[in-house]
Each structure stands twice: as structure tokens, then as C-alpha cells.
Amino acid sequence: MDSTIPVIDRQGSMERLDNDEELWNEIRTIWIEDVPQMLRNVRDALEAGNADGLRRAAHALKGASSNVGTVRVAEQARTIEATALEGNWSIQAEHVAKLGEEVERALEVLALPPA
Amino acid sequence: MTVLGEAAKRPRLLVVDDERSNLALLTLTLRNEGYEVVACSNGVDAIARSMEQPPDLALLDIMMPGMDGFQVLDRMKERPETSRIPVIFLSGMEDLSSKLRGFSLGAVDYVTKPFHIEELRARVRIHLQLAQSRRAIVEEQSRKLETLVEAQRQLLRHPEELPQARFAVHFASREEVGGDLYDVVEPAAAIHGYFVADASGHDIGTSLVAAGARALLRQNASPVWSPEQTFSLANDALVTWIPPGKYLTAVYACLNRLTGHLSLVSAAHPPCLVLPRLGEPWLVELSGDVLGAFSGAHFGTRDIHLMPGDRVVLYSDGLVEDPDDGILWNAGLARLLEAARRVHDVPLADLPRLLAENLVGERNTDDVVVLAFEY
């Protein structure tokens, strides 16, 4: 993934939300609450060898992450969504591992007080 | 025109998305705009909620577990309560085919996620406005139609306006734009013409054809012309302006009260019923072409002689036909004769209504006009 992509594109997200801080905080809270389960869904689908389930789980995580601006997670999820049906499980295992790392980084940044 | 209560009503929006942050984003954004928002996280709930109380607009995610957005829209289109709800699709899927599929299913717009909330607000607003304009147009058309129908009714001749014509009528119109009509004219002193027609179809064109046919009959009913000539003149005028595919069946009875001579002319209309004061009821079957389909049409004619107290009944096919039960003319006519025997001695003023009640009852599948007159 392009290393210039930030963990959080807060500015882009705020623009889409019409600079509504309260709204952003609301969806940030939801993202923090929901992302562990969303990631679990991705991992479960990978373990089960369920290609369509993997695609769908990645799609959901991509959508949620695009809203809050966790763009590296969104980008990694997009890659999985786009390639899941190819059925190359060793590559998907790498993608999913990378996704886990990106989620960890995003959670750390989101937990920080706003700059 | 909008009444105050309506203007004050908050538009109700249905938002459907399985992803919690999206649902929250949509709900909060649109609530802040003053809309009433019903949030659903799956397609099954969305259908149930839209049936309970149809929203003014729906925002539907496409990719959801279980029932996806396309299926939800499909189900909404199947039901009259929900088929007119404007639907905007929301999806992260950017491919053209899913957009086109949404539009072909009847979606009004498409927003790609992640969306800018200002764009979302604008699209919601514009589609609510469009739906409101559409409703206003429909209401306006319906008002115009009511005016037209009211004007038609005003034109109907009531028995008390022409007591010497000694007639009674039962007129039930199922729809605002029915095609049945009747008229009673007095082309000369002691000569009365009775007319019943049924224009094909059930739309505004049908109403206009019916109104036009009556105007033509009034113009052409004259002692100068025989009833058949009156029909021919009306037919040749009708074919010049009647919309394609429209026509009428009609019957015209002209009674000379000085002699008891009755001339009948029919344009493919059901038979006339004769109720002699003494004797059994019988039917006058007349052939003939329909009115208004082509020029030079031929009409069925018959002259009969009435005795004082004899009655004649003209009616539209709704009296003897029931397409739902598969009852067409022939079976219907046998029932008509039976009913005629039952109502033989009732006062003239009650005869058309009682015949209709006997034959049609609560069925009310079509317009029905029953016109009875007495010599």
C-alpha cells in the first residue's frame, strides 16, 4: 500500500460530514465499538474458506472505515473485497494479516485526543 | 395548493443499511435536517416498516446480508402502497452495471459511498420536491376530471324536467371517467327520443367520447331525420374526431306519442326490453355496427307499435354482463327476462332501480345505466 496514505484522513472525513464534529465523534465511537467484530467476520470467512463471505465482510469494513476516515483500513479492505473471489487463499491470508495491523494502528490513532 | 397541515407535516424517510456507522450517519444527518427518519438494518424490516406507514422517500443500501437492496426495491414495486415511493440507492459499489440495474428497477437516484452529506441532503431534498410536484400534478388532473364528470352529470336529463316523456332512470357510475350515458330529447311535440350508449374504455377519452356523442345526438335528433339517419349523421361526425380505438355501442328509441309508433335503432348494443302492460316481456334484438369506428356504418333498425301502458327499457351491458363471473349477454338476457317478470307491476319511477338491484345487486362491476319509458 502507498506509504503516503495516512492512517486517518480526518480532513477528508470532516469535509464529507460538513465539518460536523459531533457527527464525526458519533461515527468514530461506533467504529471503535464495531471494528473488532468486523475484523472477526473477515478472519472467520478466511478460515472457513468462504470467498463470498470474505468479500462481504471486507465490503462492510471498507464502508465503515471510509466514513470515519480510517483510509488505510478502507484501502486494505477494498483490496480484499476486489480479490476475494479469486480464491487465492495464501494471498488473502497476507491481506487479512495486513488488515489486522492497519486496524490496530487506526485504533491507536483514533484513541488519541484530537490534534 | 398545499393546506397548512400538509405543509407542516415532516417528510418521513426510510433509511436502510446493515452497517451501523452508515445507518447512524444517515439517521443523524437527515434528522438534523428536520426529517422524520425510520432506520432499518435489513431488508425484511425495511419492507415491513414501509408497509406499516409508507415513507415519502427511501434510501437503500445495496449490499446487505439476506435481502439485498435490489430485492427490497423489487418487493416495494410489487405493492401499490409502496410502489410509488422514490428510492435512492446507496452503495460503495461504483460499477456502472449495479447503477443501471438500480435505475432499471425503478430507483430515482444513486449515491456512491462514502458520500458527502451535503450531496446527500441535496439529493434527498430534490427528490422529495419532485415527488411532491408529481403528486400536485396528479391532484390537479384529478380535480379537472371531477369537474368534467360533474359537468357531465349536470347535463343529465332528470325525469322531472321532461315529465311528458314519462321516463325513469337508474345511473350508477363505477369510476370518475365512466363511459355510460343516456339522454332524453324532444325533437317535436309528442315525439320523444331515448338514448343509451356505452363508450369503450374507462379513461378521460371515454368520458369525452360519451359527452361528444350526446351532443351530436341532441343536434341531430329532429323530425327531419329518421332515427337511423340520426345515427348515421352522428357516426360520420364522431369518426372525424374520436380517438383511435374508441367507439360506442348505442341504442336510440324514438316514440311518437300520438300514434304509439316506436322506431328503434341500435349500434351493436344489447337488446331492448319491452314490457307490455298485458303480456310477457320480450327482447328486441337488433344487429348493427358500432358507432364512431368507421364512416358508412350500418345500424340495426326495428319499428314496433306500443299500446298505452307498455314500457320499454334501454340499458347498458353492465346490467346483463358480469365479466368476473363469465356471464355474458346470452345468459344475462335470460336473467333479464326473469327479473322483468318480477318487476312487471312496479311504478315506473322504481322500475330501473329495481331491475338493477335484481340483476347487479352489490356486484357493481361496471357502469350501469337503465332507462325505462312508458307509452
Question: Which of chain A's residues have a Cβ under 8 Å away from the Cβ of B29?
Answer: 20, 23
Residue of A8, A11, A14, A23 to mutate, interface with B, max B Cβ within 10 Å: A23
Separation CA A1–CA B4 (nearest Å): 57
Query: In 3D, which of B36, B41, B59, B69 has the Cα closest to residue B120?
Result: B59
Which ipTM did the prediction report?
0.87
Strand partners, B89: B60, B110
Whether B309 contacts B270, CB under 8 Å: no
Question: Which of chain B's residues have a Cβ under 8 Å away from the Cβ of A31?
Answer: 21
Separation CA B251–CA B231 (nearest Å): 9
Cα radius of gyration (chain A)? 14
Q: Which of A59, A60, A67 sits opposite B25 (nearest CB)?
A: A67
Which three cell numbers mark B52?
A: 406499516
Place of cell 374504455: B201
Buried-exposed string B215-229: b where 16+ CB fall within 10 A, e elsewhere: ebbbebbeeebebbe
Query: In 3D, which of B291, B179, B301, B299 has the Cα closest to residue B235?
Result: B291
B215 CB contacts (<8 Å, ≥6 apart)?
A: none
Q: Where are the alpha helices (DSSP H) in chain B?
A: 4-8, 20-32, 43-52, 69-78, 96-105, 117-155, 204-220, 227-241, 329-342, 351-359
pLDDT value at position B1?
A: 40
Q: Which residue of B has its CA nearest to A30?
A: B21
Which three cell numbers mark B188?
A: 317535436
Instruction: For residue range A64-114, list pLDDT tens digits in order.
Output: 999 999 999 999 999 999 999 998 999 999 999 999 999 999 999 988 765
Is the predicted pLDDT of residue A52 greater than 70, yes or no? yes
B140 min Cα distance to partner chain A (Å): 39
DSSP, collapsed to helix, strand or coil, labels residue B87 as strand
Angle between helices A21-48 and B20-32 (to 10 degrees): 160
Share of chain A above pLDDT 70, in %: 97
A93 min Cα distance to partner chain B (Å): 23
Asked if B21's CB is within 8 angstroms of A34's CB, the reply is: yes
B59 inside 8 A of chain A by CB: no
A31 min Cα distance to partner chain B (Å): 7
A67 min Cα distance to partner chain B (Å): 6
Q: Which of B19, B22, B25 sits opposite A23 (nearest CB)?
A: B25
DSSP B307: P
B35 inside 8 A of chain A by CB: no
Neighbours of B246 (CB within 10 A): 21
Whether A12 contacts A22, CB under 8 Å: no
pTM of this prediction? Answer: 0.59
Q: Which residue of B has its CA nearest to A64?
A: B21
Residue of B19, B42, B64 to mutate, interface with A, max A Cβ within 10 Å: B19
Residue of A14, A35, A66 to mutate, interface with B, max B Cβ within 10 Å: A66
Beta strands B87-91 and B109-112 are parallel
CA distances from B75 to B56, B59, B93, B190 (A): 17, 15, 21, 63
Mean pLDDT rounded to a whole number for chain A: 92
B305 inside 8 A of chain A by CB: no
Buried-exposed string B168-189: b where 16+ CB fall within 10 A, e elsewhere: bbbbbbeeebbbbbbbbbebee
End-to-end CA distance of chain B: 52
B95 inside 8 A of chain A by CB: no
Residue of B17, B22, B25 to mutate, interface with A, max A Cβ within 10 Å: B25
B25 inside 8 A of chain A by CB: yes
Beta strands B180-188 and B261-267 are unpaired
pLDDT value at position B216?
A: 82
Separation CA A98–CA A75 (nearest Å): 11
B102 min Cα distance to partner chain A (Å): 19
DSSP letter string, B38-75: EEESSHHHHHHHHHHS--SEEEEES--SSS-HHHHHHH
Asked if A30's CB is within 8 angstroms of B21's CB, the reply is: yes
pLDDT value at position A2?
A: 84
Q: Which residue of A has its CA nearest to B95?
A: A82
Place of cell 344489447: B270
Q: Which of A30, A56, A63 sits opposite B24 (nearest CB)?
A: A30
Asked if B20's CB is within 8 angstroms of A30's CB, the reply is: yes
Separation CA B239–CA B20 (nearest Å): 64
Q: In chain B, which stretches have pLDDT less than 70?
A: 1-8, 93-94, 142, 145-154, 174-178, 202-205, 323-329, 362-366
Asked if B28's CB is within 8 angstroms of A26's CB, the reply is: yes
Asked if A60's CB is within 8 angstroms of B19's CB, the reply is: yes
Residue of A8, A18, A21, A32 to mutate, interface with B, max B Cβ within 10 Å: A18
